[in-house]
């Protein structure tokens, strides 16, 4: 059996309720600091559950600018900030020589639900003309991976996965297999979530899936306790959130599965001629025939 290609993690980034960097999040996790608290992004008075895990001290305009911040959903903003950390941590530089060998596999469970929810309210209040034309590109699940690719100019495989709470692990696993198959030498992988809106929390409440410990939100998440009453909705990346810049040792460029730019691929068909060949002229006259007897 052939030896499996070794793939290693060279950089990480994170944006989550207990920290906006790998070091901060690790220190708080090791110190037992909880990121769960009262909901502050909206008034939860209509909900049975009034607490969640919110990302704190995060200003997307500070690193994206006002224009780009308005054109991206919060789920994409959190992902871009974590991807920036991973790129810097790995010291990866995208160049014209390697851009087609860098993949982006970043998923999400639900995508831009905040944009969808706000757009529905806008439609009901102001009608069809009030809906933003940016709704579709902001709400799509693969807007995250696409925006990261546009940010850094990568041209390798690019797509998003959606497998609920397993999304992050599945994306990292698929990125690893992409490298092993020889489709890319580097992959930026991970997941992002920003589903802390009234609609989703109300749904989780009605299915009795989340905790209602409003009197003790810090200790509400207790997955292995006999008194557990549900999980806690949280922003950023669910489960074990992280981005990883994953690389493998250099491989020969003659691999049949190596990702190449479109201009380098052989064209399987011949372009049609601009001027079609002239058809020979045929006579339009014919010999008259006798009428058929009735």
Write down the pLDDT at residue 278.
Answer: 52
pLDDT value at residue 5: 82
At residue 54, φ and ψ (nearest 5 deg) are: -110, 145
Q: For the chain, which residues make up each domain, given as ranges?
A: 10-250
Residue 234 gets which letter from DSSP? B
Mind listing the pLDDT tens digit for each residue in 175-191? Answer: 999 999 999 999 999 99
Rounded-to-integer distance, Cα 107 and Cα 79, Å = 10
pLDDT digits (tens, 9 = 90+) for 12-24: 999 999 999 999 9
| Helix runs in 32-112, H state only | 60-64, 66-70, 74-90
CATH number of 10-250: 3.40.47.10
* pLDDT value at residue 94: 94
Cα–Cα distance for residue pair 223/218, rounded to 1 Å: 13
- 55-112 residue pLDDT tens: 999 999 999 999 999 999 999 999 999 999 999 999 999 999 999 999 999 999 999 9
pLDDT of residue 277: 52
Residue 290: predicted pLDDT: 56
Distances from the Cα of 76 to the Cαs of 79, 247, 274, in angstroms? 5, 23, 45
**Lookup: tokens for 79:** 């992902």
Q: How many CB atoms lie within 10 A of CB 130?
A: 12
Q: At what angle do helices 143-152 and 74-90 cross, to 10 degrees?
A: 40
pLDDT tens digit sequence for 105-127: 999 999 999 999 999 999 999 99
pLDDT at site 292? 57
Confidence of residue 1 (pLDDT cuts 50, 70, 90): low
Q: How far apart are CA 186 and CA 212, in angstroms?
A: 43
Q: What do you get for the CA distance between the two ends of the chain, in Å?
A: 83
Residue 135 CB contacts under 8 Å (≥ 6 apart), including other chains: 115, 116, 119
Dump pLDDT digits (tens) for 236-279: 653 332 333 444 434 333 333 444 444 444 444 444 445 555 55
Tell me how far apart the alpha carbons of residues 64 and 144 are, in angstroms, rounded to a whole number.
14
pLDDT surpasses 80 at 154? yes
Provide the pLDDT for residue 243: 34
Q: What is the pLDDT of residues 188-217, one digit of tens each?
A: 999 999 999 999 999 999 999 999 999 999
């Amino acid at each position: 059996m052939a030896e499996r290609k070794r793939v290693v993690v060279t950089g990480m980034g994170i944006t989550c309720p207990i920290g906006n960097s790998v070091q901060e999040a690790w220190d708080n996790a090791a110190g037992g600091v909880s990121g769960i608290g009262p909901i502050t992004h909206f008034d939860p008075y209509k909900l049975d559950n009034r607490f969640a895990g919110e990302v704190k001290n995060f200003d997307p305009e500070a690193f994206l600018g006002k224009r780009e911040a308005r054109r991206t959903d919060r789920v994409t903003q959190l992902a871009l900030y974590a991807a920036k950390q991973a790129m810097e941590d790995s010291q990866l530089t995208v160049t014209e020589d390697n851009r087609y060998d860098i993949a982006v596999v970043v998923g999400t469970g639900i995508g831009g639900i905040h944009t969808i929810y706000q757009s529905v309210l806008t439609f009901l209040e102001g009608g069809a003309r009030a809906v933003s034309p940016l709704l579709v590109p902001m709400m799509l699940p693969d807007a995250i991976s696409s925006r990261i690719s546009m940010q850094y100019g990568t041209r390798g495989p690019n797509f998003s996965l959606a497998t609920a709470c397993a999304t992050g692990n599945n994306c990292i696993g698929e990125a690893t297999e992409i490298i092993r198959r020889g489709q890319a030498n580097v992959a930026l992988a991970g997941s992002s979530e920003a589903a802390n809106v009234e609609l989703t929390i109300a749904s989780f409440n009605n299915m009795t899936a989340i905790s209602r410990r409003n009197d003790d939100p810090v200790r509400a998440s207790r997955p292995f306790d006999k008194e557990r009453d549900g999980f806690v909705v949280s922003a950023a990346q669910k489960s074990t959130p992280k981005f990883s810049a994953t690389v493998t040792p250099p491989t020969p460029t003659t691999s049949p599965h190596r990702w190449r730019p479109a201009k380098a691929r052989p064209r399987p068909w011949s372009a049609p001629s601009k001027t079609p060949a002239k058809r020979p002229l045929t006579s339009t006259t014919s010999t008259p025939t006798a009428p058929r007897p009735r």
